[in-house]
Structure 1
């Protein structure tokens, strides 16, 4: 835990008692603050009390003695509509902050704090995990957290030689312009969470907060394969920063390029082949090329030798729910890509696999599946479920056979049946939802776990049926 001492002797309200809120409340208490925690969810309140927190109904209290309201990332404080408690705090002039704000304040006073911050629309988790793996293999003391793994304030305190690799979402960054990252990373930009940020400009502005404290001596790394990131790159150069570009689409005269599974580094004035990704199934695909290129750039910024980076990449196992290969049933392959919560992420999987029986659905983002429409060539049928199924079916139109399903389980069954009955040599059942999971699941991890459980049920049923046929 990282104790937060900036509010010692001051009352601080904490709204939201999930993973982030619980860590925040404990870190504030450890630093001497008087904490008033609350959550609208009764089950989370019970969990907080069981963990030793004393609840304080923020709807009923006098806000006159509160120094700040710390709000969890998933709770709106402005758009689309502020949470009532956030509105109350704003009305009486209580500052609204979050755990990243607190971390920034704490780290600004600690000379040993060294942060690698990673944000972007897609690829953050894999990039963070790969960076952490490379640094660990290089012998560094690495703390991985934020939007992946542990909450930031639940991480161990700074000490000499310790490096923090933090995945930072737009929700976390929108209130945090005081965190200085020794290396700040933007993977890419595509429409996401627009209801929370108002429009694309608001979303990009939230992401760009990761560079607010960056100076000429700090590492700044940007993926360059979308127009908005290219525009931000130019703005950062105009601030006299030295952003290092990474592309998985074209050769760069300055920066890192990953093309055809090969990584090229132009740091020495000419492009040199450094390593190959061929034979690493957990890092296949153009999107992973960008992830690897960024992780490589971060490691080189920290002066890690290329041969150490190469060996670490070779031993990286990948993350669950990101184009995760499950064991096949007969000739049917299964891919769990539950982390694809928007169309741009799903389009990466649609470009990677062949003869796809595509499962999608849930809570659609504002642009629905627009980003996938140019990448349906390998899709043989789509199985749509969830709250916004009709909207997605209408958007997909007559481009491919569509099946509206009752649930993820129903969609998995139908996709498997159709794939097995097809004439394709190696059909692929792909869960790549292109939607948020919250209509039916707590998060994308729970959705991916449910898919894996459904596949295992199918496997047992298929094996049982095959055994009966052999004995009959």
Structure 2
């Protein structure tokens, strides 16, 4: 795991003990820190978080008010400190060096923001930034944007590893970065960074910082679109002079940020751009590919090496991924498309589409998808947005309210003809009916399998 000697003797509270939170606890303990940890899910408040069973774990309790002032853990013979379970909201945080929260914690309305007062509220990416001085010489690539982050991150990581450069992929994708082994000298950490993660980071100096695009999203966490865009722009504010900035200029907001930065590499997708590899078709993937090329060039890779990596890249799951052909009909899982802007490319990538959409809406319109409406034979709406989306689409196409994903797949299968595509591209978050977009994608694949 990645850890830092600078944490020795410091006190941290960790709120949220899912994957990134659990990795954070273990890394802090390994660095000699004192840790107070909490999760509302009692099952996650597990003694297994203690390294090799070390530490006393005083205060482990299902009560949120169990400890008014947790006892200071004592050093174990292994030099690791005890883990204390207590709700940070129920204790005095004066003297703590940081409160580490999950990116999923809405700090704009969560009581921890007011309770911490003078204690920094940070995330695991900030801890990674603090640990960098203990790591062998390396570089960091940080990728943010509303859409395309995961594909671009995975593509850069793929090209690097194919070229023989040691690389780790983390942040908002894959394993938590603190849970991964440090790279040898010359390695590259490739981090997908959501705006939430950037909000919780103050010192991540990326050797290459990337902004793909900015469109309205996650506005429940911000005072408005401008505040959301400003969060993305902070990735560049943390950079040292001379480090590379790569920005897509396909939207006015990103272009305006590029105008404020000297020596920015601008990514503009040319009209009629073709596929850059077997898994990189469509204008959105053209931007992803062009961005990855620019990043790898900034890291010193030559054109032939980059081209070879593009040719062998394969698409990530739930991103316009072909699931199966049933009775001559193709079924495509684009569950990762959680807003209209990310759905739009899929509607332009196929002809004669049976479109399954809906869930927990992030916007009140589908205007970004309109250029692809002509390819849609029929739409099937699901989730909490089902009625609203059906109302929006009715003037432009045949549409029916299916309600559930299973029902939508069955109805689409009944009406699709050989050569058609049944496309799950929801333009919505999944949390009304599923735990995440991955669970939604797996449910779609299971529904398709049931048709066989």
TM-score (structure 1 length as normaliser): 0.85
Distance 2:450 2:256 in 1: 48
Pick from 383, 391, 394 the counterpart of residue 394 of structure 1.
391
Show the counterpart of 1:432. 425
Contact 1:49–1:55 (CA<8 Å) still a contact in 2? no
Matches within 5 A, 1:83-98: 83-90=110-117, 93-98=118-123
Q: 1:44 & 1:216 partners in 2: Cα distance?
A: 42
- 1:214 Cα shift? 2.4
Q: Any stretches of 5+ residues in structure 1 without a counterpart?
A: 251-258, 262-275, 460-472
CA–CA separation in structure 2 for the residues paired with 1:85 and 1:245 = 39
- Mapped pair 1:327 → 2:327: no
Question: Equivalent residue of 1:236, what SS?
Answer: coil
1:76 aligned residue (106, 109, 115): 106
Q: How does 1:54-203 map to 2 (within 5 A)?
A: 54-78=84-108, 81=109, 83-90=110-117, 93-107=118-132, 110=135, 112-203=137-228
Equivalent residues of 1:146, 1:166 under 8 A apart: yes
**Preserved contact between residue 267 and residue 290 of structure 2 (Cα < 8 Å):** yes
Offset at 1:60?
2.7
1:134-161 superposed Cα distances (whole Å, 9 cap, x missing partner): 1111110011111010112112224311
Whether 1:312 and 2:309 are equivalent positions in the alignment is yes
| 1:28 matched to 2:28 | yes
Q: Which moved more, 1:44-53 or 1:166-175?
A: 44-53
What is the correspondence of 1:203-242 to structure 2 with a 5 Å cutoff? 203-237=228-262, 242=263
**Change in 2 beyond 3 A, CA 1:227/1:292:** same
Are residue 9 (structure 1) and residue 9 (structure 2) matched? Answer: yes
Counterpart residue number, 1:383:
380
Over the aligned positions, Cα root-mean-square deviation in angstroms equals: 1.9
Q: Secondary structure at the match of 2:88?
A: coil
Partner SS, residue 198 of structure 1: coil
Superposition deviation, residue 179 in structure 1 = 0.5
Q: CA deviation at 1:226?
A: 1.2
Candidates 273, 296, 303, aligned match of 1:260 = 273
- 1:382-423 deviations in Å (ceiling 9; x for gaps): 111112222222333422112112311111111111114xxx
Q: CA deviation at 1:217?
A: 2.3
**Which of residues 344, 353, 357 in structure 2 aligns to 1:356?**
353
Give aligned pairs, total: 422
Does the residue aligned with 2:214 lie in a helix, a strand or coil? coil
Deviations along 1:42-77, one digit per CA (max 9) or x if unpaired, are 333358669866522333323234222111101011
- Map Cα deviations across residues 196-233 of structure 1 (whole Å, 9 max, x no partner): 12211111111111111324421211112111111111
Q: Distance in 2 between matches of 1:394 and 1:49?
A: 49
Whole-angstrom CA distance in 1 between matches of 2:49 and 2:179: 18
In 2, Cα distance between equivalents of 1:368 and 1:5: 50
Shift of 1:438: 1.0
Cα pair 1:5 1:33 within 8 Å, conserved: no
CA shift, 1:108, in A, is 5.1
Question: In the superposition, relative to structure 1, how do residues 48 and 447 fare at CA in structure 2: closer, same or farther (>3 Å)?
Answer: farther
How far residue 163 of structure 1 moved from its aligned partner, in angstroms, is 0.8
In the alignment, which residue of structure 2 is the partner of 1:374?
A: 371
- Retained in 2: the 8 A contact 1:112–1:162? yes
Residues of 2 paired with 1:108 and 1:119: CA distance? 23
- Give the C-alpha shift of residue 430 in structure 1: 0.2
**Which residue of 2 is the match for residue 457 of structure 1?**
450
**Any conservation in 2 of the 1:177–1:210 contact (CA below 8 Å)?**
no
Q: Which residue of 1 aligns with 2:296?
A: 299
Residues 176 and 209 in structure 1, CA contact (< 8 A), matched pair in contact too = no
Q: Taking structure 2 as the reference length, what is the TM-score of the superposition?
A: 0.89
Could you say what secondary structure the match of 1:73 adopts? coil
CA distance in 2, matches of 1:11, 1:354: 57
User: Alignment partner of 1:245: what SS?
Assistant: strand
What are the superposed Cα offsets for residues 415-455 of structure 1, whole Å, 9 maximum, x if unpaired? 111114xxxx5111000000011111111111111111111
Q: Matched residues in 1 for 2:220 and 2:214: separation?
A: 16
**Unpaired segments ≥5 residues, structure 2:** 54-82
What is the CA distance between 1:98 and its match in structure 2?
Answer: 1.1
